A and B are shown apart, each in its own frame.
Chain A
Amino acid sequence: MSKFLKVTAAALVLGSPALAEEKFGLGRPALPEEVAAWNKDVLPDGRGIPEGRGDVFTGEEVFAEQCAVCHGDFAEGVDNWPVLAGGFDTLGDKDPVKTVGSYWPHLSTVWDYVNRSMPFGAAQTLSPDDVYAITAYILYSNDLVDDDFELSHENFADFEMYNKDGFIIDDRAETEYTIWSGEPCMENCKDEVKITMRASVVDVTPEEADEGADGAMQGHSEGTVEVAATEQAAEPEAEVVETAAVAVDPELAAAGEKVFRKCKSCHQIGEGAKNRSGPQLNGVMGRTFGAVEDFKYSLVFNAAAEEGRVWDDESMSAFLAKPKGYLKGTKMGFGGLKKEDDIAAVIAYLRSASE
């Protein structure tokens, strides 16, 4: 392991003048509760994992609720979000599919990452049992366990991942450094040179800010502003009437706040809300589609904005039930809320949180 340091340097360091150095008496002892609160990493041999258990069946439900927005119902990945399942025996192919199943060498990494870093935008909110269940479901989606599998602290350390032997420790010192060294060629190094590939052919370079795509974006937002202004001029009273007519049930709104956690990784609402990967949602109910300034909407939203379509209970319910079905072409990756109660609750929350 010391190959990356010159032997002399390593000896010097480990010969430990460092350890003989004086102490400064700074800082204070960490309390056990504090260490417990932060020391959550799980080692490959299973040390550090809390007690708990979760099965595939439970995991499927939790996954659908907490993870499927980005990773898909079957861990297949939505848009550019990571694919978690499949890809077996593709690692030697031209475009290897590196998933939890095909690539990850340790189960501890899966549990640890879900536990400390997921869900995106609501990290560290899952219970240990939920993390066990999600991990069990990810294994199931990779065909690594049967549907009656239960993962717990008892069988955790014994589980062997498919690609556990797929890694070697950095060997560049032997395979590369010895070859790529010495006095390099300065003259007549090749007989001829031909261009074999050009970036302009692939054409994936982002355009400059004042041209191309971004220029078009500016056009869009100006258009949106104009539409919104017309809308306001035409129907100010209607909006006021509608807002006034809808009294928000505080209990329903509170339930909606919980459901809204699914939306939070992309949408903000309330004081100081900003656009994230989705637009901020203050005042969305009663507003024209696609009306948030500075947000780059999909074409279908811009078209709806030009038609002057307005978010009301009916349109919002239909959209939240099946976003891509209601507005084909929307960039919103969310699969939809299955329960009508949840939809009504979220709408109540959207109203209350905007106030």
Chain B
Amino acid sequence: MDDALKAPSRRAFLKGSAAAVAGSVAAGAAVAAEPDPLITELQDWASSLGEGVDETPYGLPIKYEDDVVRRNVPWLTADPISSINFTPIHALDGTITPQGCAFERHHSGAIELSKPDYRLMINGLVDQELVFTYADLERFPRENHVYFCECAANTGMEWAGAQLNGVQFTHGMIHNMEYTGVSLRTLLNEAGLGAAGDLKDKWVYVEGADASSNGRSIPMEKALDDVLVAFKANGEALRKEHGYPVRLVVPGWEGNMWVKWLRRIEVTDMAVESREETSKYTDVLADGIARKWTWVMDAKSVITSPSPQSPITHGPGPMVISGLAWSGHGQITRVDVSKDGGMTWETARLGRQGDTKALTRFYLDTEWDGEEMLLQARAMDETGYVQPTKAQLREVRGENSIYHNNCIQTWHVKTNGEAENVEVS
């Protein structure tokens, strides 16, 4: 235990927690040597007054949590205007991601588009090409759903091996929110699909209003299935960086298709094959041939704590291993955890039965013997799919991929409680 305290973690949030750690040691088995002044001495907060209401009309987290923020990896991209950052999943629990720390991905920056200036056009192979205002959208029947949104490049840097030392960086291109919106099917029906004829080979091209004109082609089956035109997330308006006032939600499919600042929906008879669905978001296999239209995000899980940014700060004894699991094919049915790099596994407890295509929280309530661990998690979904190892993925796809890396992740937990991103045999 002393080792854990002496070993200086470079993570800032540990610095302030020495007292808490000492407290937890005292609270463990032994009797406290001296009375705890936090209890025996009158504390300022127990005597003087705190802030009044309205001090902060829209509240931010308390200052003690100011390290729970999005972070980026500057060397990944040429310019922060066209870049990505990462959700601090190491510091969150439950399943809902607060909008303020949910990862951002912009191609030409986050624009400010007001509701009065907002227009949504439906054109192409429809009976009547239409224009909606924001107010129009709020008059259609609304739905609420919780869905995860994962960038296809999440964990992409790990194709080449263990690189980034933090679950925020390896797995933080994901968020999970409760959306309110109108089903795309309702809007397409309003324009009428009679003109499209047989719907089986038809597509919907969706486009954003920002300077990148990011657009993707979605097959009609999906468009009529569960796609949402959303304007609220977690009960409040979408944040600017998440596409205010309106974004598309494409459940279970790669985040690039969730077009922000949605301005146009075009019914077409072929895929547009725009830049983001040919030169990007395609997967080069070992022989140089690339897969396209790899839309679904396969089942995946990761342990968020302990992890490199969230080391163990207590001694041997009871501990909680926790993480997230999700599948673009439906519900997570089971998550197994290994402490020895995949030799033996035990089944974790799901926080609650997860929603379809949404994050599921899992816990392994266990005992730490103070020894090293090689922690892994392995998810299964309702289709029977089992999350693969890195070796299994590489065997099928080679090592030239960028996207769709859903491999089993390994954290090496040392005797002092620190954890490191490693790859194992």
Contacts and interface: CB of A to CB of B under 8 A. Distances in A.
A246 interface: no
Given A5-B225, A41-B207, A198-B162, A18 B185 contact: yes
Contacts of B286: 92
A79 B74 CA distance: 13
A123 B278 contact: no
A265 B215 CA distance: 21
Contact of B291 (A167, A182, A200): A167
Given A30-B123, A172-B298, A205-B165, A277 B284 contact: no
Contact of A123 (B108, B121, B308, B385): B108
A11 to B, nearest CB: 10
Interface string A46-72: 000000000000000000000000100
Nearest to A115: B213
A187 B344 contact: yes
Nearest to B200: A14
Contacts of A95: 400
A33 B423 CA distance: 57
B89 to A, nearest CB: 15
A98 B284 contact: yes
A276 B286 CA distance: 38
B79 A277 contact: yes
A4 B343 contact: no
Contacts of A23: 189-190, 192
Nearest to A4: B296
A337 B421 CA distance: 46
B11 interface: yes
B336 A186 contact: yes
Contacts of B185: 18
Interface of B: 10-12, 67, 71-75, 77-82, 107-108, 121-124, 128-133, 136, 139-140, 161-166, 169, 185-186, 188-190, 192-194, 199-201, 205, 207, 211-215, 219-222, 224-225, 263-264, 266, 268, 270-275, 278-279, 282, 284, 286-296, 298, 308, 336, 340-346, 374, 378, 380, 383-388, 392, 396, 399-400, 412, 420-425
Q: Which 10 A-B pairs have the closest CB atoms?
A: A91-B288, A193-B341, A92-B288, A80-B78, A199-B421, A116-B213, A197-B423, A123-B211, A30-B129, A199-B165
17 contacts: A1-B201, A16-B199, A24-B140, A29-B128, A30-B122, A34-B131, A39-B124, A41-B274, A45-B270, A104-B279, A167-B278, A177-B385, A193-B343, A198-B412, A198-B423, A205-B164, A206-B73
